[in-house]
Amino acid sequence: MILLVSDTMEAWLNSAPDWMLNLPQWAYDICYDFFKSFIFDQRYLNILTGLQNTLLLTFFALLVGLALGIIVSLVRVSWDKETKNRPWGIGKFFMGLANAVCKVYLTVIRGTPVVVQIMIIFFVIMANSNNKMLAGVLAFGINSGAYVAEIIRGGIMSIEEGQFEAGRSLGFGYVSTMVHIILPQAFKAVLPTLVNEFIVLLKETAVAGYVGLIDLTRAGNIIRGVSYVDFMPLLGVAVIYLVMVMFFTWLMGRLERRLRNSDH
């Protein structure tokens, strides 16, 4: 269906209330732009689809990133703190190998732009698939995992050595010292930084459009293309990101306060 500019104008004149048509020019323009961007032809549906995709993408990428980050950080810390000093054996060999793989992963992922990574995953590695969401979840998850790993590793390293020694002198092994004593403290310490990483991730998914995934940003761009209005769709998209970030910041602030209540 081809929509002519006159169609838009006609629909606007038919649906806008009279008081709106009588507004001063600048206000009238804003209302008309808003109509063209979101109301006419149900263009707001683009935004809803995009928002849904952005949230899905962020959520699953977050899960992948957290899982990867926890595993990688534990491998790195365990090697540096424990396995490195053990006598050689099959266990040490595999831990050393895993540690080396993790180091390469961290270097490569943190050393290249996420836009390039998502394009490589979608156009090269997943060349035979058209599952854009999967490509996005993998790309952003793998990318975020590298940062999460370093955040958690930093958290674990920030716990003083005495806590390890106290745990182990009570008879806890390395793993149970980690699980029962170190990690609960480390997670609490890194929670604000993890939330920050989550917020960065949410905004970073805006480049998912590079592989054709219709996320929030891409949805705004699509509207820009059909409505010939630039400012209003972009403003709408920006406001939605801002509201989401503010909401999650508020939510995490509450969670942090609750956690802090337990240690004074």
Partner 1 sequence: MTTKQSDQTLIRVEDLQMHFKKGQIKALDGVSLEIQKGEVLVIIGPSGSGKSTLLRCLNRLEVPTGGHIYVDNVDITNPKVEIHAYRQKRGMVFQHFHLFPNMTVLRNMTLAPMKLLKKSKQEAEEQALKLLDRVGLKNRADAYPSQLSGGQKQRIAIVRALCMNPEIMLFDEPTSALDPEMVGEVLEVMRELAKEGMTMAVVTHEMGFAREVGSRIIFMSEGKIVEEAPPKVFFENPRSDRAKEFLSKVL
Q: Out of 176, 238, 246, 253, which residue is the one contacting partner 1 (CB under 8 A)?
A: 176
Range in contact with partner 1 (rule: CB under 8 A) among 59-67, 160-168, 224-232, 243-251: 160-168
Closer by beta carbon to partner 1, 86 or else 254: 86
Query: Total number of residues binding partner 1 (CB under 8 A)?
Result: 23
Residue 234 CA to residue 223 CA, distance in Å, equals: 9
Closer by beta carbon to partner 1, 82 or else 230: 82
Alpha-carbon torsion angle 152, 150, 215, 210, nearest 10: -170
198 burial level (CB within 10 Å; 0-12, 13-18, 19+): buried
Pull the structure tokens for residue 82.
């424990």
- φ/ψ bin of 42: left (φ > 0), alpha (ψ from -120 to 50), beta (otherwise): left
Residue 59 CA to residue 62 CA, distance in Å, equals: 5
Query: Is the separation of the CB atoms in 140 and 114 below 8 Å?
Result: yes
Q: Out of 34, 60, 105, 172, which residue is the one contacting partner 1 (CB under 8 A)?
A: 172
Q: Which residues contact 229 (CB under 8 A, 6 or more apart)?
A: 33, 36, 37, 223
Report in angstroms how near the CB of residue 250 gets to partner 1 at its nearest: 24
> What is residue 261's three-state secondary structure?
coil
Report in angstroms how near the CB of residue 261 gets to partner 1 at its nearest: 10
Near partner 1 in 183-212, by CB under 8 A: 184-185, 188
Residue 128 CA to residue 126 CA, distance in Å, equals: 5
Q: Does 91 bind partner 1 (CB under 8 A)?
A: no
Closer by beta carbon to partner 1, 4 or else 90: 90
For the chain, the residue count is 264
Report in angstroms how near the CB of residue 188 gets to partner 1 at its nearest: 7
Q: Does 162 bind partner 1 (CB under 8 A)?
A: yes
Stretch 225-264: interaction string toward partner 1, x if CB under 8 A: -------------------------------------xxx
Q: Does 173 bind partner 1 (CB under 8 A)?
A: yes
**Interacting residues with partner 1 (CB under 8 A):** 85-87, 160, 162-163, 165-166, 168-173, 176, 180-181, 184-185, 188, 262-264
